[in-house]
Structure 1
Amino acid sequence: MSDTESREFCPRCGDPVPTRAEPLPGEPRDRDRRLCDACYFEDFALVDAPERIEVLVCSGCGAVHRGNRWVDVDARDYTDVAVDEVREALGVHVDARNVTWAVDPEQVDENTIRMHCQFTGVVRETPLEESVVVPVKISRGTCDRCGRIAGGYYNAIVQVRATDRTPTAAERNRAVERAEAYIGDRESAGDRNAFITEVEEVDDGVDIRISTTQMGEGVATRIVRELGGSVESYPTLVTEDGDGNEVYRVTYAVRLPKFTPGDVIAPDDDAGPVLVRSVSGNLKGVRLASGDPYEASFDDEELAARRLTTREDAVETTVVAVEDAHAVQVLDPETYEAKTVSRPAFFDADAETVPVVKTRAGLHLLPD
């Protein structure tokens, strides 16, 4: 068979072309497959690029509007956003192999970035290069999330209070930190409905307004898990949605325990004072007279115990003598008299000074 008989002819110019294998069943049929290389590359475009790209960016959080929704992007600046948008908008010819591309952004003005894109690829065993320039126009708006925040939108209030006292500054700060950490985790997971609208300090605690009831419950649960206490919910009907469904705003009332770590309390059991060490779950502490561990449920403890003082009121005093395995002499920090007190298990016999608190029941050593 001659070479001519083994070839096809280009339907455009009539030049012979090599016979190409028919596509397999299910594969797309290229109507230009019979063209010679010269005719094929006459109208060939390696890259399909739009004449212009417009990007709407939220001026508050930097989210980008794509389609009909706002999308958070991990971008350092608007140039990164422009690169991402150009990458999404450009199309490379289906026949191209080994495609590489590079982009050189040119900042034209505050809102316009000209993207100089350089592509390389292989088509019909022929190396190709192509350059395109795509202007990217950055416009700014406000996403739904930032609009809600600016409008004071919320569906849950977490009220942090305490039983028979006012929450300490440390407790208030920690409650807010737990709320911010939880909402931050939800934001990092891509939940754009996660935000704290307002944190308000009030006379008897702190109020945290949160975007959704589910997240309000999550915040309240985590505060109680760390700081102790209990939580109750109180829903309030505020409106109906477009489908007639009732919409509720829920108040989560967090009630912290009556005592806090560092309190010295007197349980109603005649066994002496207890230094509170934890209020997460049950109340846990240590007996100051013996050093034995102490634990009680909040229901029993709150009904029977009273606060004597706190660790903050402790002072350092001198150890005069160790009398025996059960007693030690220390100086009274007020009268400077030597007083014999119980020797708890946590007492260090080599210590020259110890922290003590003074109550109506006398002096009590504290663990370091």
Structure 2
Amino acid sequence: MSRSGEFCPRCGDAIEADLDARPARPGAEGVRDPDSVLCDGCYFEEFDLVEAPDRIDVRVCSQCGAVHRGNRWVDVGAQDYTDIAVEEVSEALGVHLDATDVSWEVAPEQVDENNIRMHCQFSGVVRGTLVSEEVVVPVKIARQTCERCGRIAGGSYAAIVQIRAEERTPTEEEQERAQETAEAFVAEREATGDRNAFVTEVTEVDEGLDMKISTNQLGQGIAKRIVEQQGGTFEDYETLVTEDGDGNEVYRVTFAVRLPRYRPGEVIDPEDGDGPVLVRSVRGNLKGTRLATGEDYEASFEDGDAPDARRLGTREDGQRTTVVTVEDENAVQVLDPETYEAKTIPRPDYFDPDADEVPVLKSRAGLHVLPDDGGETGDA
């Protein structure tokens, strides 16, 4: 290699390199990095291929497993934090700008539950020379409580969703379905990264179910979805609870969901002269099937969502009984399931003339054939 005519300012040796080919200071065009005037021996004497922190602390929530990054908590869904430690170390390491063809690998060593030792091996080409370096970075897993879990533990909430029913108490099934709806709605919001979405508390009361929800927007969305799925209506009521630091009024909102008067599967008598109705749907106005004829029934506009009617029983109250004979297209004779007397009752369209047994409901409105299980369609 030819001599450059320059001498190393540190050791005085002649520099056997082309100074013009050595790196310039980044961001300063035409200005050479001061270290570039050193000979290779002096340059590599203090050269560090990798710059690494003495230690990295990874803050994780001991309750939900979220990791604190920057100025916020992030849900990562990790079972352990080795991968998180690898990411944190990789982002914290710096490679010298003069190095080219850099390759590296990180090997974690689990010391204990909260400590990981990261062995980082780097190699690269500097001034035409292959150099390598290994650094060890300790990673400390600091277990804390994130803001979200802290709010849940503290019972924080902004809205209440109440589950009630018109002229009755919601069934256990309806309450469970409402809670499942709320939890599914919250999970959808969490999946979008909304860490303010959570159900603080669910309480059974004599009238139904109360759910404390983190935000008013979330409470409204839950109430709306429950009504979409189970029918009924909801109203909201604001209550002033405090003022924030800027003097703005802070309200807590109660979303009162009122489920329909009747449930799918109930048998009611609108007392309009056409006989009992097996309720199929209560979303919107009530819809059902006439047990005497099998014809469709739908509550009229004057009745509102549902008519005033007597409750006669439910689909589950039906009993199977023997078909004695089919008299004609309008009547069938069956055995009374209690007295075992042969009785002639209306023959609805859904009655199977080849059936030996049929489900029937005995009530104060008389004895009526019920649809088989496949013939009833309730609310989804």
Greater mean alpha carbon deviation, residues 201-210 or residues 142-151: 142-151
1:314 corresponds to: 318
The amino acid of 2:229's aligned partner reads E
Give the 3-state SS of the residue equivalent to 1:88 in structure 2: helix
- Give, as a single letter, the amino acid of the residue that structure 2 aligns with 1:183: V
Superposition pairs of residues 68-217 of structure 1, within 5 angstroms? 68-123=71-126, 126-217=129-220
Task: Please state whether the residue corresponding to 2:104 is helix, strand or coil.
Answer: strand
Q: Which amino acid aligns with 1:129?
A: S
Deviation string 1:28-54 (CA, Å, 9 cap, x unpaired) is: 666156666665544433322101112
Alignment gaps of 5+ in structure 1: none
Please say if 1:17 is aligned against 2:17.
Answer: yes
Answer yes or no: is the 8 Å Cα contact 2:293–2:348 preserved in 1: yes
Matched-pair contact (CA < 8 Å) for 1:17–1:34 = no
TM-score, reference length from structure 2:
0.86
Q: Does the Cα contact within 8 Å between 2:299 and 2:305 map onto a contact in 1? A: yes
CA distances 1:72-122 after superposition (whole Å, capped 9, x unpaired): 223221323322321222223345455443322222233221111223445
Structure 2 residue ranges without an equivalent (≥5):
373-380
Deviation at 1:71, TM superposition (A): 2.3
Cα 1:117–1:349, aligned 2, differ >3 Å: closer, same or farther?
farther
Q: 1:350 aligns with which of 335, 349, 354?
A: 354
Query: What is the CA distance between 1:274 and its match in structure 2?
Result: 1.2
How has the CA–CA distance of structure 1 residues 91 and 284 changed in structure 2, closer, same or farther, with 3 Å as cutoff?
Answer: farther
CA–CA separation in structure 1 for the residues paired with 2:342 and 2:190: 60
Residue 248 of structure 1, CA deviation: 0.3
- Counterparts of 1:122 and 1:324, CA distance in 2: 99
Deviations 1:218-249 (A, max 9, x none): 11111111111000000000001011111000
| TM-score, length of structure 1 as denominator length | 0.89
Distance of aligned partners of 1:356 and 1:95 in 2 relative to their CA distance in 1, 3 Å threshold: farther
Contact kept in structure 2, 1:9 and 1:17, CA below 8 Å: no
Q: How does 1:189-268 map to 2 (within 5 A)?
A: 189-268=192-271
Q: Which amino acid aligns with 1:20?
A: A
Q: Which moved more, 1:33-42 or 1:183-192?
A: 33-42
Given that 1:17 and 1:35 are in contact with CA atoms closer than 8 Å, whether structure 2 keeps it comes out as no
Please report how far the alpha carbon of residue 173 of structure 1 lies from its aligned counterpart in structure 2 after TM superposition: 0.3
Question: 2:5, 2:46 → 1: CA distance?
Answer: 21
Identity over aligned pairs, percent: 65
**Matching residue of 1:47:** 50
Residues 225 and 281 of structure 1 are in contact (CA less than 8 Å); yes or no, is this contact kept in structure 2?
no
- The CA distance in 2 between the partners of 1:346 and 1:8, in whole Å, is 107
Task: Describe the SS at the equivalent of 2:193.
Answer: coil
Shift of 1:176: 0.4
Report the CA distance between 1:255 and its aligned residue: 0.3
2: CA distance, partners of 1:295 / 1:21? 88
CA RMSD of aligned residues (A): 2.7
* Contact residue 267 and residue 301 of structure 1 kept, 8 A: no
